[in-house]
Amino acid sequence: MQQPSRRQALAGAAGVAAGLGITGTALAVDNGDSAADRRDTDERIDRMSLEEKLGQLFVVEVYGATADTEHEKNRELYGVDTPAEVIEKYQPGGVIYFDARRGTDNVREPRQMARLSNDLQRASRVPLIISTDQEGGSVVYRLTEPATLLPGNMALGATRSTSDSRESARIIGTELASVGINQNYAPDADVNINPANPVIGVRSFGSDPKLCSELVSAGVRGYHRGKVASAAKHFPGHGDTEVDSHLGLPEIDHTREELDRIDLPPFRAAIERGVDTIMTAHIVVRALDPSGDPATMSQPIVTGLLREELGFDGLIVTDALDMQGASGQFPPDEAPIRALEAGCDQLVLAPELDTAFAAVLEAVRSGRIPEKRVDASVRRVLRHKRRYGLFSSPYVSEDRAARTVGKRRHLSTAREITDRTVTLVKNDGLLPLSPKTKRSVLVTGWDEETTGALADAVSARSGQRAKAQAVDAVPSGKQIEAAVAAARESDLVIVSANAMASGEDEGAGQAKLVKALEETDTPVLVVAVRNPYDIQRFPSVPGYFATYSHGAPSMESVTRAAYGELNPGGKLPVAIVALDEPDKELYPYGHGLTY
């Protein structure tokens, strides 16, 4: 179901790009390379074999917390045992770190990450681009404690603050650089105009192209100040989809005029600010390429629009090629070739790497891909590495990493920023809470860790007793009955809601829980811990906060706001409309209550 927030954006965003001064004009980018740098790069390329050049076009994952860790997945994927052996075998241009949730176990604590980075650099004849996805917030992140948890993009959009966006990116960048990660695949430059978007949502700064452009630009500047490369994603814009490109192939039905007004301004702003990298999306945009090819494999989109029209001369990388939006359309021996033919420079997580590498090698030898085309991408990869000092200084200090990650000043700044993101959407006289009359608090709803963090924050207030009683994403009848019984014995119920992120079943199930709790005599306060749209499903609740994140810092900030210890200042960066009346706006863009 398309919401009017989407339709209003399609119809009413005129003048945004013009207001930014970046409409339709190709932006010339000064790459800053000296003649000596260019000569050195060309000499390096001349000394490389074709196989060594092709290695620079691949970004791989490795399994293990150290370079010498033996892991069965390395053997399964690459035919060798350890991360160092993966690098030695393929000599890739880059490696991407993941955490234990994917099984790679690359990120544990600062010294370990710094040591892994150093040892992988030692295993590579050409310095590596070491990358990760650390967007901030609690959706796409790899480094956890002791790393500083910053609010995600939509939370930052609620502050309307370019300085908060810049400072958040600077802290993330500083901590990543200290452990040897020199490329962050952030900020997300998508404009989320579709509440049903299953993959972007709070990863976007909001639904307004101007706001997104300003905060993307600030984020790029912040990452540069943190000495880490930035990446705007997912080009040409993933903000109006109802299909997750990890699971299928979405299609954007915007006209070219709508793309210029809505989707492209943040990317133009990022290019103007000097973004290092742009990541392509596995989405179909027929207004740009009628063939129906995903953008990642589309020459009109990657070369025609991004390179030639927008004038971007930095590094273009694919989104992960093991996602269904790519792998479901093209086999392992064809996807990397098509992405290179489109104009991409680096291939991220190409499945069946031996097959992919051999296919690209044969495509060059047969003349399907000219070697000059390969040289152009290798030149950009090497130039990128030179800009970040990787040829002269690829290693980092483990001691400095331990001092930098999660340092006290970073944590203090993060708390201040997080406090400014809390958005009070509805208050029918329930807030601020009084510790004298709301002594016994039930915290229920989505996710055991989240309800626990909320209960801990409430219990830290003098005289408050909070009990955490989590339920499943789709609460069972018994769980709802137990929550209702506990609510009748409590002075207040706080519900952690994540009803719009996972699907219809989860949303309807959580709405059933909230409505059952509302039928008790106990007041109900809902905290939307991801997308702010959840109140569509239970509009009658007396109190409703949006935090855009379920991280512990956000739970602490919203609790402080609930008890009046801070005055909530966040403003909705999206509009919220009625679930069953798509022409009825419940809360407009920019709405936010204070005390």
Least confident of 83-97, 366-380, 424-438: 424-438
**119 flagged as catalytic:** no
Task: Give the pLDDT of residue 89.
Answer: 97
Asked if pLDDT for residue 413 goes beyond 70, the answer is yes
| Residue pLDDT, tens place only, 39-48 | 999 999 999 9
pLDDT above 70 for 28: no
Asked whether 560 and 531 are in contact (CB, 8 A), the reply is no
Domains of the chain: 4-21+56-408 (3.20.20.300), 422-587 (3.40.50.1700)
Q: For position 16, what pLDDT does the model report?
A: 40
**Among 278, 311, 61, which residue's Cα sits nearest to residue 187?**
278
Between 495 and 27, the more confident residue is: 495
Residue 24 pLDDT level (bands cut at 50, 70, 90): very low
More confident residue, 277 or 25: 277
Catalytic choice (37, 40, 99, 246): 246
215-268 tens-digit pLDDT: 999 999 999 999 999 999 999 999 999 888 888 899 999 999 999 999 999 999
The CA distance from 562 to 544, in Å, is 10
Whether 31 has a pLDDT exceeding 60, the answer reads: no
State the DSSP string of 515-570.
HHHHTSSS-EEEEESS-GGGGGG-TT-SEEEE-S--SHHHHHHHHHHHTTSS----
Kindly give, in sequence order, each residue whose CB lies less than 8 Å from that of residue 302, ignoring residues fewer than 6 positions away: 280, 295, 296, 316, 342, 343, 344
CA distance from start to end of the chain: 35
pLDDT tens, 312-357? 999 999 999 999 888 888 999 999 999 999 999 999 999 999 999 9
Instruction: Name the band, by pLDDT with cuts 50, 70 and 90, for residue 8.
Output: low
What pLDDT is attached to residue 436? Answer: 82
Q: Are 159 and 554 in contact (CB under 8 A)?
A: no
Going by pLDDT thresholds of 50, 70 and 90, the confidence category of residue 6 is low
Note the pLDDT of residue 581.
Answer: 83
Distances (CA, A) of 491 to 190, 421, 440, 494: 42, 27, 5, 10
Burial of 238 (0-12, 13-18, 19+ CB in 10 A): buried
> Over the stretch 443-464, which tens digit does the pLDDT of each residue have?
999 999 999 999 999 999 988 9
pLDDT for position 23: 37
Concatenate the DSSP letters of all residues of 205-231 into one string.
S-S-HHHHHHHHHHHHHHHHHTT-B-E
Residue range 535-581, pLDDT digits in tens: 999 999 999 999 999 999 999 999 999 999 999 999 999 999 998 88
CA distance 172 to 185: 12
Q: Which residue has the tokens 């370079």?
A: 67
CB atoms within 10 A of CB 22: 19
pTM for this one? 0.93
387 confidence band (pLDDT: 50, 70, 90) = very high
Least confident of 239-243, 484-488, 493-497, 521-525: 239-243
Give me 130's structure tokens: 């070491």
The predicted-structure confidence for 133-158, as pLDDT tens digits, reads as follows: 999 999 999 999 999 999 999 999 99
Q: Say which of 319, 345, 447, 534 is annotated catalytic.
A: 319
Report whether pLDDT(526) > 50: yes
Does residue 183 register a pLDDT over 90?
Answer: yes
319 catalytic? Reply is yes
